[in-house]
Amino acid sequence: MNTVAVVGTQWGDEGKGKIVDLLAADADIVVRFHGGNNAAHTLVVNGQKLVVRQVPAGVLHPGKICVIGNGAVVDPIALLAELDNLQRHSLLSDPQSFKLSYEAHMVMPYHGAIDRAREARLAKAAIGTTGFGIGPAYEDKAARIGLRFVDLLDMKSFAAKLERNLADKNAYLKSILKAKPIRGEDLLEQLKRARKRLLPHLCDTGEYLEDAIAAGKRVLFEGAHGTLLDIDHGTYPFVTSSSCLASALCAGAGVALSRLQAVVGISKAYTTRVGGGPFPTEIKNRLGERLREEGEEFGAATGRPRRIGWLDMVLARHSLRLNGAWGLALTKLDVLTGIDPLKICVAYEHRGQRYDRMPPGGALLDRMRPVYEELPGWSRPLDGVQTLADLPAAARRYLDRIGELLGVPIVMVGTGAGREAAIVLKNPFAA
C-alpha cells in the first residue's frame, strides 16, 4: 500500500512519534493535516531526545518531504524556532524538503492570550488546554476572519486584516475576559521576518500530494492528536478544536477519500490523558504514580503530568470503528513490566446496565464503572525485544487478548523508547 494514515485511538500521547518515525523509513512524504503546536512528539534517536510540534515526526529521516496541510493551524513564529532547531540537527536543510499549505491558518499571539484568559476564568471547570491558542484560531477560521499563509502574498491587505483582528481581540480581552491586551507594535515586523523565511516553502499542498500519489510515491499521513480529543466524536467539551479522525485528512490535506489505503490506529498498552474530562479507568493510587514515572508520562507540549489508567476496550472500539483501522500499533508494552495482575476494561456498568459501547455523546462517561478482566503480568524486562517469540508468555497473552477483544490485528508493538525497540508484525507499506 502506498498511502497510510496513523491516528491515535486514545486522548493523544499514544507514542505516535515513534510509530510514525518507524513507518516514515518506508515513506517518501509525511503529512500533518490538523492541529497545531498543541501536539508534540518526542523522538529518541541515537539516545538524543528531540521534540517536534508542528513539523511531521517523519522529519528524522533524511530525504523525506515533510508537509503541513491546510487543515493545520500554524504559529509562524514558533514554526521558525522549530525549523531552526531541526536545522541545528542537520534536518530539513534542503528548502524543498518542507512544504506548508497556502491555506493553513495562522495562530497569533492574541489566540494564545484568549485561550489562557478563558481557561483562567473557567477555573475548576477549565478544559485544561495547552494554552497555545488552538481553539481561538479554529474559531477565527470558522468565523472567516482568520489569517492564512496565502495572505502573506499581499502584505498591504495582510496588515489591514491584522490590525482589524488585533483591535477586536484586544477589546474582547480587555472588556470581557478582563485580561491584558496584546501589544501589536512589533507583531507585524516579526511576521514580515517570518514571511521572508516561509515564502519559499508555501505550496498548494493538495495538488502536490495528488501528483505525488499519482506518481506512485508513498505518503504517510500523521494524525496529531487522539480520536477521543476529536471535536465531534471525542469526550466533548474536553476535546481539541479539530477533527482528529483519519478521514480528517481529506479536508485537512486536500486529498480525496478514495486515495487513502490503510489506517493504523495507535494505542498505549495502558491509557493516559492530560487536561480535564472523564476518564473511567483512571488509576489514582501509587500504581498510577509508578506508571507515570516509568512511562515518563509528562506532557511533551506543556510538561504537565499525565493522568494514568488501565487500557479501555470500550473507548478503543469506538476509536477503531471511527477510523476503520487496518491494524493496531500498541506502544510502551515495556512500561507494564513488573505489574501483576494487569487489568483490561472490557465494558462499563451504570445503574445495573452494561455498556459495551461508548454511552451516547460521551455523556455519563464520568459515572461509568469499568468492568475489568484480569491477566497475569510478567517480570522480565522487555527492553529492545524485536520478536514476539522473545516476549514473556504473559506479555504475548496480553497482546492476544487485546486483539481478540477488539477484532483488529496488532501489527506493531513498542518495547522501549529507542527507534529500534519495536516488534513489527505487519508493515502497511509492505502489504
Query: Where do contacts with ligand IMP occur on this chain (CB under 6 A)?
Result: 11-13, 38-39, 127-130, 132, 134-135, 225, 229, 238, 240-241, 274-275, 301
Q: Residue number with the shortest CB distance to ligand IMP?
A: 275
- 140 versus 151: smaller Cβ distance to ligand IMP: 140
Query: Shortest distance, CB of residue 105 to ligand IMP, whole angstroms?
Result: 14
61 given a catalytic annotation: no
What is the C-alpha end-to-end distance of the chain, expressed in Å?
6
204 given a catalytic annotation: no
The C-alpha cell that represents 366 in the structure block: 464520568
- 138 versus 158: smaller Cβ distance to ligand IMP: 138
Query: Shortest distance, CB of residue 224 to ligand IMP, whole angstroms?
Result: 6
Report the C-alpha gap between 420 and 410 in whole angstroms.
Answer: 18
The C-alpha cell that represents 356 in the structure block: 459495551
Query: Shortest distance, CB of residue 148 to ligand IMP, whole angstroms?
Result: 20
**Catalytic annotation, pick one of 13, 21, 75, 312:** 13
DSSP, collapsed to helix, strand or coil, labels residue 76 as: helix
- 12 versus 288: smaller Cβ distance to ligand IMP: 12
DSSP element (H, E) containing 198: helix 187-198
Neighbours of 102 (CB within 10 A): 16
DSSP, collapsed to helix, strand or coil, labels residue 424 as: strand
CA-closest candidate to residue 98, choices 58, 136, 137 = 58
C-alpha dihedral over 264, 274, 334, 408, to 10 degrees? Answer: -30
Written as one string, the DSSP assignment of 126-154 is -----SSSHHHHHHHHHTT---BGGGGGS
The C-alpha cell that represents 139 in the structure block: 474559531
Query: Shortest distance, CB of residue 271 to ligand IMP, whole angstroms?
Result: 12
Query: Shortest distance, CB of residue 369 to ligand IMP, whole angstroms?
Result: 23
- 78 versus 127: smaller Cβ distance to ligand IMP: 127
- 22 versus 229: smaller Cβ distance to ligand IMP: 229
**Catalytic annotation, pick one of 21, 34, 41, 312:** 41
Catalytic annotation, residues: 13, 41
